Chains A and B, each alone.
Chain A
Amino acid sequence: MTYNLFIYIIIAAAAILAVTAGKMLTSAIMLAVASIALSLLLFNFNAPWAAVFELSVCAGLITVLFISAVSLVKKEDESLKESRGKFLLLPFLALAAFITFSVILPPWFETLSGYAKYPAGEFKVGEIIWNLRSIDLLGQVTILAAAVFVVKSVFGKRSEQ
């Protein structure tokens, strides 16, 4: 539990730094740090497949996408002047929200935990993905195809009139 608490604090701190950072590159790197910490948490929850996906896709692929997008719109960092006050306020707001939530929400979460339904049997991840939730795979393939079409239509060459 202490280990999980430590990881949660790292994730929350990395998220706050990602939001408050002045440079977009720092934001992207802090998001990657949060992803790495989340994958450690998933390993600790005995969910290695999800942790590996989190580490490779979120900490790897998405960070690369963000950094490439930042490098493509680099001049925007200087031209978009946002007031820094609303971002620097976030750590205090997060602390206030933490204190408020820790008073209000735990009784409700305890009620929610009473609704947990325990599984009839033990299934492996592969069995769940391929047999029990195979319709999810159809959805995933459809979404991937839709994303490919969007990226192609956005960046595809077309004759200029």
Chain B
Amino acid sequence: MTSTFSMDWLFAAIIFFIGAYCMAVSRNLIKQLIGLEIISKAALIALISAGALSGNTNLAQALIITVILVEAVIVATGLALLVKAYKVNGAIDIKKLNNMRG
């Protein structure tokens, strides 16, 4: 670990790994969305660290505000679809969501 930037991105990589593992192994749709949130937190860490490295924190802040908004929209839409799928199928297990299988 030689610099702050490397440490930031190392932890971003670890947090990305945790979120990706959650999305890969879980069958629960809520857990999948939680994994997506964790991955977006890793992206925010990488953004602010890159902004701090180049001395342009304000541009990183502007991008982070955009990312947070997109994140909130994704979660709201995903949870709305989840609740609807639960009402239709009675399950939030991704293996039971195969109605549209060809």
Same complex for A and B? Answer yes
Residue B72 CB within 8 A of the other chain: yes
CB < 8 Å: which of A31, A82, A97, A113 contacts B53? A113
**Interchain CB contact under 8 A, A106 and B80:** no
Residues of chain B within 8 A (CB-CB) of A12 are: 11, 14-15, 18
A74 to chain B, nearest CB (A): 10
Residues of chain B within 8 A (CB-CB) of A82 are: 26-28
CB < 8 Å: which of B4, B34, B44, B92 contacts A54? B44
- Interface residues of chain A: helix, strand, loop or mixed (majority): helix
A43 to chain B, nearest CB (A): 11
A132 to B35, CA, bound (A): 32
Q: Name, among A72, A113, A122, A144, the residue most crowded by chain B CB atoms within 10 Å (CB to CB).
A: A113
**Interchain CB contact under 8 A, A73 and B56:** no
Question: What's the interface size class on B, roughly?
Answer: 35 or more
**Interchain CB contact under 8 A, A69 and B71:** no
**Interchain CB contact under 8 A, B9 and A18:** no
A101 to B7, CA, bound (A): 11
**Interchain CB contact under 8 A, A15 and B72:** no
**Interchain CB contact under 8 A, A11 and B15:** yes
**Interchain CB contact under 8 A, B11 and A8:** yes
**Interchain CB contact under 8 A, A62 and B21:** no
**Interchain CB contact under 8 A, A69 and B21:** no
A73 to B9, CA, bound (A): 36
Taken residue by residue from 26 to 68, chain B's Cβ proximity to chain A (1 for < 8 Å, 0 otherwise) reads as 1110110111011001001100111111111111111111101
18 extra A-B contacts, CB within 8 A, seeds A47-B61, A76-B93, A102-B1: A1-B7, A4-B8, A11-B41, A12-B15, A19-B18, A38-B45, A57-B72, A72-B86, A80-B91, A82-B26, A90-B18, A101-B10, A105-B13, A106-B2, A109-B6, A123-B59, A129-B65, A147-B73
A54 to chain B, nearest CB (A): 6
**Interchain CB contact under 8 A, B31 and A27:** yes
With contact pairs A106-B10, A109-B9, A151-B77 given, residues A18 and B34 touching in the complex (Cβ less than 8 Å): yes
A96 to chain B, nearest CB (A): 10
B79 (CB) vs chain A CBs: closest residue: A69
**Interchain CB contact under 8 A, A42 and B10:** no
Residues of chain B within 8 A (CB-CB) of A93 are: 17, 21
With contact pairs A54-B44, A109-B9 given, residues A49 and B80 touching in the complex (Cβ less than 8 Å): no
With contact pairs A16-B18, A62-B75 given, residues A34 and B3 touching in the complex (Cβ less than 8 Å): no
